[in-house]
Structure 1
Amino acid sequence: MYMICFFLHSPYTVTKVSLKVMTPVILTVFVLALYLHAQQVESTARLDFLWKLQATEEKEEMEELQAYNRRLLHNILPKDVAAHFLARERRNDELYYQSCECVAVMFASISNFSEFYVELEANNEGVECLRLLNEIIADFDEIISEEKYRQLEKIKTIGSTYMAASGLNDSTYDKEGRSHITALADYAMRLREQMKYINEHSFNNFQMKIGLNIGPVVAGVIGARKPQYDIWGNTVNVASRMDSTGVPDRIQVQFHYFTTIHDMYMHFIVKYNGMKKLEHP
């Protein structure tokens, strides 16, 4: 005889058992999800911090490199010319030049340096001679960087000859008072005094000849890979001749320069040196 049997149970009992089992599981999963989420948020925050730190460091390095490049450019070019070349809208093939109506030009040369320079084993094949020359030029550079000579600009050195000028831009050209002209004359006398000081402390007898002239020049930059700032014109040529035909330990000026500084500043003592024929280079 067969019978159909059924298991009887209370629905309340099943629900109660299920909740007892599922609640800890759900809580565990929830806590684990919160933990994983917190880990992910922390990892993202760490990566974000590292990326920002790296970006900041790269930006600072780029700014330092740009500042270094600007300093290098300012060392070889006047500030206003350097600003022209740093301008973003400038074309690479654009020629920079400027006509200047009244510029004071100076050439100062150590006339007997070639006699001092010898290549011997005792002076490291002439290196020590060049070292002393470098120290002299560095002294001249330090003087020209003084605030009182802010109107002056070093142009270049040619061997043992130092070339400088004043009044090359609107900020240094004194059209009314012509102070840029007298500033260069004062600088020339400072160089002569500095040369005496160097001779006393290095036990040498360097002789310096200095030539000055004023007039119009053309200033510009030539060269692409190695830009060189320079000035051209008859004013420059005559200033060079004032130097080469001058007398050691004296400053020779052209007549127009003499009348300009004599009318403004009587403390410059000037001695007539006669008429000279200046041959063109």
Structure 2
Amino acid sequence: MKDLYYEDHNDVAIIFASIIVEEDLQDILGDTKFLILMNEYITSFDTLINRKEFRTIEKIKVAKWTYMAACGLFPGGKGYQVERHVTSATLETLLSFASNMYKQLYKFNRYYMQNCICHGPIVAGVVGSKKPLYDIWGDPVNMASRMDSTGLANHIQVMEGTADIIQKLGYICDYRGEIYVKGKNGLVKTYFVRLDENYDLVRNFTIIND
């Protein structure tokens, strides 16, 4: 039996990006055409990750029509490991990726997707012997997944701690309010990262410094 392969990471940003599918779309298109269409969407996201500016983003998996990715991982000790980023850099890269995901859908005349982003320490590793899977675990992963059920179309939702870092980077976050998130005691303060009509991130004229 081979030793378990795993990695510890402190500064990782995770995204759950869910394409919102109308209930009757598959019935209208039929199974084959529906699968072809959804494959085009997912493939367009894969193409984004191949761009140089997103090379620190790792696709984790697709669960139904939710695209899961993380920024700040270096599985297998990639050659650019020396570029290990701090949390602010991983968040900024993943925010840009989320913005571009919306732009990709716009090219398909598709307007409905929701993004949820969290950050923090996680563990990554490979599990299984048949079709082994590289996956990630930790509270930020759980929270991004749970917040995905409370997201809104065409919005990037984040928790308060993540919003604080994003605003210090010079981007605007709008307070959404307190929502119930499974696994947390009571309600959790959440924010939407502001996007303009072209799905670009909106900057603040005054960057907040510590």
TM-score, normalised via structure 1 length: 0.59
RMSD: 1.9
Equivalence for 1:197: 107
Distance 1:171 1:113 in 2: 44
Equivalence for 2:13: 104
**Superposed CA offset, 1:29-56 (max 9, x none):** xxxxxxxxxxxxxxxxxxxxxxxxxxxx
Q: How does 1:1-281 map to 2 (within 5 A)?
A: 92-118=1-27, 123=29, 125-169=30-74, 170-171=81-82, 173-175=84-86, 178-199=88-109, 205-264=110-169, 266=170, 268-280=171-183
Distance 1:143 1:113 in 2: 25
Asked whether the equivalents of residues 172 and 180 of structure 1 are also in contact (C-alpha less than 8 Å), the reply is no
Distance 2:12 2:46 in 1: 20
Asked whether the equivalents of residues 102 and 111 of structure 2 are also in contact (C-alpha less than 8 Å), the reply is no
Q: What are structure 2's unaligned runs of at least 5 residues?
A: 75-80, 185-210
Asked whether the equivalents of residues 221 and 229 of structure 1 are also in contact (C-alpha less than 8 Å), the reply is yes
Once the two structures are aligned, what percentage of the paired residues are identical?
37
**Superposed CA offset, 1:62-114 (max 9, x none):** xxxxxxxxxxxxxxxxxxxxxxxxxxxxxx52111112112100000012254
- Aligned pair count reads 178
SS at 2:58 equivalent: strand
Greater strand percent: which structure? Answer: 2
Deviation of 1:172 (Å)? 5.2
Distance 1:240 1:172 in 2: 27
**Alpha carbons of 1:150 and 1:99: their partners in 2 closer, same or farther (altered >3 Å)?**
same
**Alpha carbons of 1:245 and 1:171: their partners in 2 closer, same or farther (altered >3 Å)?**
farther
**Alpha carbons of 1:113 and 1:106: their partners in 2 closer, same or farther (altered >3 Å)?**
farther
Q: Which moved more, 1:137-146 or 1:166-175?
A: 166-175
Distance 1:244 1:192 in 2: 18
**Alpha carbons of 1:208 and 1:172: their partners in 2 closer, same or farther (altered >3 Å)?**
farther
Distance 1:167 1:226 in 2: 24
Deviation of 1:194 (Å)? 1.4
Distance 1:220 1:262 in 2: 32
TM-score, normalised via structure 2 length: 0.79
Distance 2:8 2:65 in 1: 28
**Alpha carbons of 1:103 and 1:188: their partners in 2 closer, same or farther (altered >3 Å)?**
same
Asked whether the equivalents of residues 209 and 243 of structure 1 are also in contact (C-alpha less than 8 Å), the reply is yes
**Alpha carbons of 1:106 and 1:153: their partners in 2 closer, same or farther (altered >3 Å)?**
same
Distance 2:159 2:10 in 1: 17
Q: What are structure 1's unaligned runs of at least 5 residues?
A: 1-91, 200-204
Asked whether the equivalents of residues 166 and 172 of structure 2 are also in contact (C-alpha less than 8 Å), the reply is no
